[in-house]
Amino acid sequence: MLFKILVLWFVTSGLAIAYFARRELLISWREPVLHRPVLIIESDDWGAGPPDQSEALGTIAQLLAGFKDCDGRHPVMTLGIVLASADGERITATGSYQRQLISTGTHGSLLETIGNGVEAGVFDIQLHGLEHFWPSALMEASQCDETVRVWLQRAPLSLTEDLPSSLQSRWVNAVSLPAEPLNDKEVLQAVQEETAGFEAIFGDVPGVAVPPTFIWNECVEKAWAAGGVDVVVTPGRRYESRDYDGQPSDAGDLVYNGQLTDIGIVYVVRNSYFEPSIGHMAEQAMAALDFKTRLGQPALLETHRFNFLGSIDKKNRSVEELKRFLEQALVTYPNLAFISTGKLAKILKDRDPGWVEQRLGPRLHFWLRRLGEFPRVRKLAWLSGWILPAGLVWKLTGHS
């Protein structure tokens, strides 16, 4: 009798968990389990703006070239490139929006440093946007916001990082909040311009796109795919707008590393941060690498150019922290792999057996580990008693 009650309890509570936590159960299973730790430093915002970014990138390239993984590959810093900014002088003269695209004429040294870094295998370029804003929204905001007006006048030398945060989003109109969606036709045209601009500057279509401020929608994604993009870097969800408080909103389902969308885009997840200028130390970056490795996931660490620009002191501290982190990472994980985000996406998409676990036992083990990181799933498992059989399977599959 007791046995029957127990079986009935586990069956019904199991079905309830399967229903309420279906997304977590599914994505934790579908996300490939990597055999070895993978580290990528993902940095954004390079390109348009002050041309003196080349010195910082030169220092970073030199640092990265001094490290190698056990296969002889250097650490890769991906550079999310912004191709243009506003041209303040021409805007004042004409009264309408005018852009300045980066070129060998305006940013020759920067483009050379980037090209050399790519050739040396320490940089990989990704599309961040034609601009790091939606031009007509910025023009509209400048009518009533003095800081935006002054910013536009000083452009292209002004930094987009100094704009109000909501106006740094490119794929919504956030002049007033909550943000308004853009017209699909305008989006298609803007994406065509940016993919063509990327190709004109770098000689190839962009393979990886990083949505500015991580706000974008399906229309943007489809247009990117048509322009050659096959990988999109996400924060783990797609946010499509900004709410009354300017916070990212209209989030879709959780997404996972290696998720293939209907139109053939591969998602990767970047939700760990390494911003030394705001206090992130090598130890925190190590904790992020440990966490991701424990879950069989790649560690994509987000950073921005602002850490490496400005005062020499700030730049040196950021470079030093990056150096300490790489030193610690290689000592802790002798089998650590340095690859680019584009290569990672291909490995995940192909479920490459050289990198991705194929055996059922280890996959079950990592599935349970991943599920344990969702507080809701953990709570349901404890309350229902499912923690016992799950713990047993976790233990039994731990040494395969």
In the complex, which residues of this chain contact Zn ion (CB under 5 A)?
Answer: 44-45, 212
Among 156, 143, 51, 163, residue whose Cα is nearest residue 98:
156
Min CB(49)–Zn ion separation in Å? 11
Q: What is the DSSP letter of 122?
A: S
Q: CB atoms < 10 A from the CB of 48, how many?
A: 29
CA gap 172, 219 in Å, rounded: 12
Which residues, in sequence order, are CB contacts of 74 under 8 Å at separation 6+? 64, 65, 67, 68, 120, 121, 122, 338
Cα atoms in the 13 Å half-sphere on the side-chain side of 131: 28
Min CB(393)–Zn ion separation in Å? 42
- Nearer Cβ to Zn ion (133/333): 133
The C-alpha angle with vertex 29 and arms to 26 and 30, in degrees rounded to 5, equals 85
Which residues, in sequence order, are CB contacts of 40 under 8 Å at separation 6+? 76, 78, 298, 299, 300, 301, 338, 339, 340, 341, 344
Min CB(161)–Zn ion separation in Å? 8
- Helix or strand holding residue 125 (H, E): strand 123-129
3-state SS class at 115: helix
- Nearer Cβ to Zn ion (85/397): 85
- Nearer Cβ to Zn ion (134/386): 134
Min CB(168)–Zn ion separation in Å? 7
Min CB(320)–Zn ion separation in Å? 24
- Which residue is closest to Zn ion by CB? 44
Min CB(132)–Zn ion separation in Å? 6
The C-alpha angle with vertex 256 and arms to 252 and 260, in degrees rounded to 5, equals 85
CA gap 115, 119 in Å, rounded: 6
Min CB(159)–Zn ion separation in Å? 11
- Nearer Cβ to Zn ion (212/296): 212
- Nearer Cβ to Zn ion (304/315): 304
Min CB(44)–Zn ion separation in Å? 4
Across-strand partners of 239? 215, 251
| Helix locations, 132-281, DSSP H | 135-144, 146-154, 184-202, 218-226
- Nearer Cβ to Zn ion (107/305): 305
Helix, strand, coil % in the chain, rounded to nearest 5: 50, 15, 35
Q: CB atoms < 10 A from the CB of 141, how many?
A: 24
Min CB(280)–Zn ion separation in Å? 17
Residues in the chain: 400
- Nearer Cβ to Zn ion (169/293): 169
Q: What is the DSSP letter of 214?
A: G
- Nearer Cβ to Zn ion (138/368): 138
- Nearer Cβ to Zn ion (28/158): 158
